[in-house]
Amino acid sequence: MKIIIGQGSCGIAAGADKVTVAIQKELESRNHPLEIELAGCCGTCYLEPIVDVVSDNGQKTTFVSVKPEHIAEILDFAIHQKQPKDAVIMGDNDQASLDKQVRIALRNAGVLNPEKIEDYLANDGYKAIQKCLQEMTPQDVIEDVKISGLRGRGGAGFPTWFKWQAANQQKATPKYIVCNGDEGDPGAFMDRSILEGDPHSVIEGMMIGGYAIGANEGIIYVRAEYPLAIKRLEIALKQAREKGILGKNIFGTGFDFDIWIKAGAGAFVCGEETALIASLEGQRGMPRLKPPFPAQKGYWGKPTNINNVETFANIPWILLSGGSAFAALGTEKSKGTKVFALAGKIQRGGLIEIPMGLTLREVIYDIGGGIQDNKAFKAVQMGGPSGGCIPASLLDTPIDYESITATGAIMGSGGMIVMDETTCMVDMARFFLDFTCKESCGKCVQCRVGTKRMLEILERITNGEGKDGDIELLEDLCQKVKDGSLCALGGTAPNPVLTTLQYFRDEYEAHIYEHRCPAHNCKKLLTYTIKEDLCVGCGACAKKCPSDAISGEPKKVHSIHQELCIQCGTCKTVCTFNAIEAL
């Protein structure tokens, strides 16, 4: 019998540390030697903190939304099989959501202790690299990855085998293999969760890639904002070295390989591979023209292969199961599975992994549980700042590279931000432009200046100062920024604007010509009024109003003087009677 506590960043943020302390204290008070283990996030972030009770025969019972006061009941269940009264066991709907997924990259997430290499070894860990070194040539490895159809999961979707082949064919040495863990999209946390929950799968994938291209050194570039991921990577690397899995003469085959970690400063542009290489070399993270590609001249001018975290996490499974097993999942051009981070106005927020080809509707409603508070679905943002907004009319779009690109969005690294009827699509475009404008490295004029001008227009529109011709000017700027930018950051920055203009043009027109926000979201376009039938005259709104725009006698209906109102929304926030509405 043992207890497993979810200790990913989401679990810790929800209170898993307090739950762990409470379990330890309760066990001490009972003088009971129950084994306690930690695990990463299993994907159901919305249910954290999570505690699994695993019996001696392997049967698992999952408790969700656990609080310290639930611990006595959970231990009574674990030790005495006493049914809990307040502690909540995972429901059938939540379990059904997990059962609809196919997990390859996330196969060990929430299952293994990421700080114990023994757990990974007990689950076929490092058998794939052993097989490669003892039974396969580098070309055999590349061929199996080719058969799998695995495309890079970092966003571009470029065939993995092709990049490996290109680096393999280079004569220059030394060669390097780099893991891109610089996950910067708002709402994306796939790579972080894999690094926190299953670091050895990434290490093993890099080792296989290193063998395939002829590299003896690997580098994991991970943003410094992921301290738990870095900590667990360091533990995993130390344990692998102690076991002789990393270092010299691995498995007695003469293959030498080791990995070191570079903590990046968090610049979004460093997700672009040439900017990442510049950062690794100690330079400012700025992209350069290609060719030459990194496979030809990368880190210190030597052949370098770069893949992202999820791509490497798939590799050991592919080499053990065979490329054809991975290719049997997904669609003709988009093979295998893909991890997505569901965020926003979704019932079951967290990580999912699905076979390519499922529709957006299946993901959002069948797996994600639909929209919060039974509101209407409006759009889903895919691809982060580089992606676009896909409307309700396209909910039956299959999730594969070609179909998503056809909507104007991109697959990206796997972020899915779900929006409901209360989301203003003009403001959403402004949010993403603000992000890309700030993250632009400034190297090319089109991106540095173009995104700034686009942002200024969007800010004017959301502030009620839009004017005739703004839409046409935005479209013109979008095309110029798209065509003239040096790297993908600038080249895709217009996507959120272009897709919202394509599918929600009426909202732009309402902002500009009617000075109205249809979603009742843009504060400068709202009119606050007091409902006479709900106002009790408590005076809370008048006391808090920063512009003294509200007046009224005690216990009588108050009123808002529109000429003084600054649309700050304070009155609506403090009113406990729902008497103030914004229209």
Q: Determine how many CB atoms are found less than 10 A away from the CB of residue 233.
A: 24
Q: How confident is the model at residue 157 (pLDDT cuts 50, 70, 90)?
A: confident
Is residue 72 scored above 90 in pLDDT?
A: yes
CB-based contacts of 252, cutoff 8 Å, min separation 6: none
Give the pLDDT of residue 300: 97
465 and 561 part of one domain: no
Give the pLDDT of residue 209: 98
Q: Determine how many CB atoms are found less than 10 A away from the CB of residue 458.
A: 27
Query: Domain range holding 9?
Result: 2-91
Average pLDDT, the chain: 95
Express as a percent the part of the chain with pLDDT over 70: 100
**Residue whose pair of structure tokens reads 């025969």 in the numeric block:** 57
259: closest CA among 247, 251, 242? 247
Rg of the Cα atoms in the chain? 26
CATH code of the domain covering residue 15:
3.40.30.10
CB-based contacts of 185, cutoff 8 Å, min separation 6: 383, 384, 385, 386, 412, 413, 415
Q: Which amino acid is at 109?
A: A
The side-by-side arrangement of strands in the sheet containing 88-89 is 35-39, 2-6, 51-54, 60-64, 88-89
Classify residue 218 by its DSSP letter.
E
Q: What is the pLDDT of residues 13-25, one digit of tens each?
A: 999 999 999 999 9
Q: What is the pLDDT of residues 116-128, one digit of tens each?
A: 999 999 999 999 9
3: closest CA among 68, 69, 71, 67? 71
Give the pLDDT of residue 185: 85
475 and 555 part of one domain: no
Name the token pair of 450. Answer: 């173009």
Mean pLDDT, rounded, for 241-246: 97
d(CA 417, CA 197) in angstroms, rounded, equals: 23
Asked whether 213 and 177 are in contact (CB, 8 A), the reply is yes
Asked whether residue 110 is assigned to any structural domain, the reply reads no
Is residue 89 scored above 90 in pLDDT?
A: yes
CATH code of the domain covering residue 253:
3.40.50.11540
Helix 190-197 with 227-242: angle, nearest 10 deg: 40
Q: Cis omega (within 30 of 0) on the bond before 291?
A: yes
d(CA 444, CA 482) in angstroms, rounded, equals: 12
CATH code of the domain covering residue 566:
3.30.70.20
d(CA 19, CA 3) in angstroms, rounded, equals: 12
DSSP letter string over 11-78?
HHHHTHHHHHHHHHHHHHHHT---EEEEE---S-GGG-S-EEEE-TTS-EEEEES--GGGHHHHHHHH
Asked whether 269 and 285 are in contact (CB, 8 A), the reply is yes
Asked whether residue 272 is assigned to any structural domain, the reply reads yes
Phi, psi for residue 347 in degrees, rounded to 5: -65, -45
Domain count, the chain: 5
Q: What is the pLDDT of residues 274-292, one digit of tens each?
A: 999 999 999 999 999 999 9
Q: What is the pLDDT of residues 334-354, one digit of tens each?
A: 999 999 999 999 999 999 999
Mean pLDDT, rounded, for 498-524: 95
Last residue of a domain, one of 327, 359, 377: 327
Distance from the Cα of residue 288 to its chain's centroid: 26
Q: How confident is the model at residue 378 (pLDDT cuts 50, 70, 90)?
A: very high
19: closest CA among 2, 40, 3, 42? 3
CB-based contacts of 314, cutoff 8 Å, min separation 6: 104, 105, 150, 153, 205, 326, 336, 337
CATH code of the domain covering residue 374:
3.10.20.600
200: closest CA among 136, 123, 94, 256? 123
576 and 463 part of one domain: no
Classify residue 83 by its DSSP letter.
P
Asked whether residue 194 is assigned to any structural domain, the reply reads yes
261 and 162 part of one domain: yes
Distance from the Cα of residue 206 to its chain's centroid: 21
Inter-CA distances, 236 with 121, 317, 437, Å: 12, 19, 37
Last residue of a domain, one of 308, 327, 346: 327
541 and 430 part of one domain: no
Is residue 155 scored above 80 in pLDDT?
A: no
Is residue 156 scored above 90 in pLDDT?
A: no
Asked whether residue 520 is assigned to any structural domain, the reply reads no
Q: If DSSP codes are grouped into helix, strand and coil, which group holds residue 101?
A: coil
402 and 429 part of one domain: no
Q: How confident is the model at residue 461 (pLDDT cuts 50, 70, 90)?
A: very high
189 and 290 part of one domain: yes
**Residue whose pair of structure tokens reads 């395939």 in the numeric block:** 212
Q: If DSSP codes are grouped into helix, strand and coil, which group holds residue 189?
A: coil
Asked whether residue 519 is assigned to any structural domain, the reply reads no
**Residue whose pair of structure tokens reads 């770069």 in the numeric block:** 306
Q: If DSSP codes are grouped into helix, strand and coil, which group holds residue 336?
A: coil
218 and 148 part of one domain: yes
Cβ-count burial 265-289 (b if 16+ within 10 Å, e if not):
eebbbbbbbbbbbbbbeeeebbbee
d(CA 126, CA 146) in angstroms, rounded, equals: 21
319 and 345 part of one domain: no
Asked whether residue 332 is assigned to any structural domain, the reply reads no
Q: What angle do CA 18, 19, 23 make, to 5 degrees?
A: 120
Name the token pair of 266. Answer: 């968090």
Mean pLDDT, rounded, for 536-555: 95
270 and 179 part of one domain: yes
Q: What is the pLDDT of residues 421-434, one digit of tens each?
A: 999 999 999 999 99
CATH code of the domain covering residue 480:
1.20.1440.230
Is residue 567 scored above 90 in pLDDT?
A: no
Mean pLDDT, rounded, for 103-113: 95
533 and 474 part of one domain: no
Asked whether 286 and 293 are in contact (CB, 8 A), the reply is no
Give the pLDDT of residue 314: 98
Last residue of a domain, one of 327, 351, 376: 327
413: closest CA among 223, 282, 231? 223
Q: How confident is the model at residue 154 (pLDDT cuts 50, 70, 90)?
A: confident
Mean pLDDT, rounded, for 251-279: 94
Helix 138-148 with 309-321: angle, nearest 10 deg: 100
DSSP β-bridge partners for residue 382:
388, 416
Q: How confident is the model at residue 1 (pLDDT cuts 50, 70, 90)?
A: confident
Give the pLDDT of residue 523: 87
Asked whether residue 98 is assigned to any structural domain, the reply reads no
Give the pLDDT of residue 347: 96
139 and 260 part of one domain: yes
Asked whether residue 558 is assigned to any structural domain, the reply reads yes
Q: What angle do CA 44, 47, 49 make, to 5 degrees?
A: 105
Q: How confident is the model at residue 32 (pLDDT cuts 50, 70, 90)?
A: confident
